[in-house]
Amino acid sequence: MIPVWKIFLSFLKIGGFAFGGAYAVIPLIEEQMVTNNGWMTFAEFSDLVAIDELTPGPIIINSSTFIGMKLAGVPGAVAATLGCVIPGGIVALMLISLYSRYKEIPVISEIIKILKCMSAALIFSVLLKMLMSAVFPEGLESINILSLALMITSFYILKRFKTNPLYVMLGCGCINMLIYLITK
Amino acid sequence: MFKKAWLLFINTFFISMSANSGYAMLGVIKNRFVNKYRWFSKEEMEDYIALAQSCPGPIGCSSAMIIGYRSCGIIGALSAALGVIIPPFIMMVLVTFFYTFISTNQYVRIFISGMQAGVCAMLLDVVLGLFSGIRKMNKPFYFAIVALSFLYVRLTDFSIFYLALFCIGTAIIKTLMIKRKVDEI
């Protein structure tokens, strides 16, 4: 069993640096869970991102509760969720008390801008990894054409019709299942 | 005061239960507290949302805390935060039970691996959105940060946290330099 305080510390780090929207947390989780601690495999991590999309609620809270629960049951889930919420909460309270006095803080807005650039690059990097594992599941020799086709179609549908991503993803799952049943 | 805190908790609880993402929550929060309860003006609310976006972590939670703090101090902030956290928490605890139970099922695996492709498409959409936001700022400086961060995570094994610290440092130096220039003029 992984000690609960270790889970808490990992999620403090994840929560403290997740700038730039809900998806900013994904690269941080990958680093903490897969690379640094080896608590999850990359495949499990990819599953997690899919599950996040299926379930309501903020992605950050969903994934931390899920991981905490998997690693150490309910205490783990509590530790992970608190860990990922506390840094943001402290910053929020600090900012709101500063705001009541100064209204505008140029350093903060500059920090946010730069961190957003950083997280765009990080998300892109994780995306590349996920793409490779979806399209080339067994190395570069064998290409999974179905995955590639699903991906391109989904992207087109998302862009063109601004569909709710949830439906697109469910569609992908269904098509994959259907083709499996037909070709079996 | 406790009545206000209770109202905050109940409202954020139901908003969190029904909203799909943090950004969806913002809209509902704004509608509730500005139009229905009239605790804040529309302008105040917009400032709070901007502040919430500057916080790390879940934006729904930080915006709820800010509103809570402004309406009845720390107690308000805590009760609003709890309201946001509890519904997804309970939900995910249930999902985990479900997942460990079914994840070994072959059909579930095939379904999820199909979803993986959709996830990639969606992330691509998100990344392109972020990049176009950066392009609109139209400053090579920000592109340099993007390129540098990308090379950093792909080529080195160092932690993301050093990169984040470096970025924060750069931001502070940059603001100081701009300020000095303005002072000289």
A155: which chain B residues are within 8 Å (Cβ-Cβ)?
121, 124-125
Under an 8 A CB cutoff, do B117 and A154 touch? yes
Report the C-alpha gap between B155 and B166 in whole angstroms. 17
pLDDT at residue B78 tops 90: yes
pLDDT at residue B92 tops 80: yes
Condensed to tens digits (0 to 9), the pLDDT of residues A137-159 reads 777 777 888 888 999 999 999 88
Contacting B residues, span 45-104, partner chain A, CB-CB under 8 Å: 47-48, 51-62, 65-66, 69-70, 74, 77, 81, 84-85, 87-89, 91-93, 95-96, 99-100, 103
pLDDT at residue B37 tops 70: yes
State the maximum Cα–Cα separation within chain A, in Å, rounded to a whole number: 67
Q: What percent of chain B has pLDDT over 70?
A: 97
**Per-residue model confidence (pLDDT) at position A21:** 67
Report the C-alpha gap between A111 and B46 in whole angstroms. 20
pLDDT at residue B19 tops 80: no
Condensed to tens digits (0 to 9), the pLDDT of residues A37-56 reads 899 998 889 888 888 877 77
Condensed to tens digits (0 to 9), the pLDDT of residues A47-91 reads 888 888 777 778 888 899 999 998 998 999 999 999 999 999 998
Contacting A residues, span 96-125, partner chain B, CB-CB under 8 Å: 96, 99, 106-125
**Per-residue model confidence (pLDDT) at position B108:** 82
Report the C-alpha gap between B57 and B29 in whole angstroms. 18
pLDDT at residue A3 tops 80: yes
Report the C-alpha gap between B184 and B55 in whole angstroms. 32
B158 — pLDDT class (breaks 50, 70, 90): confident
Ranges of each domain in chain A: 4-137, 144-184
pLDDT at residue B11 tops 70: yes
**Per-residue model confidence (pLDDT) at position A20:** 67
pLDDT at residue A106 tops 80: no
Q: Could you tell me which residues come within 8 angstroms of residue A15 by beta carbon, excluding any fewer than 6 positions away?
A: A60, A64, A83, A84, A85, A86, A87, A88, B56, B57
In this structure, which amino acid lies at residue A18? Answer: A
**Per-residue model confidence (pLDDT) at position A82:** 94
**Per-residue model confidence (pLDDT) at position A102:** 67
Q: Kindly report the pTM of this predicted structure.
A: 0.80
Q: What is the CA radius of gyration of chain A?
A: 19
pLDDT at residue A104 tops 70: no
Q: Could you tell me which residues come within 8 angstroms of residue B9 by beta carbon, excluding any fewer than 6 positions away?
A: B79, B80, B82, B83
**Per-residue model confidence (pLDDT) at position B185:** 66
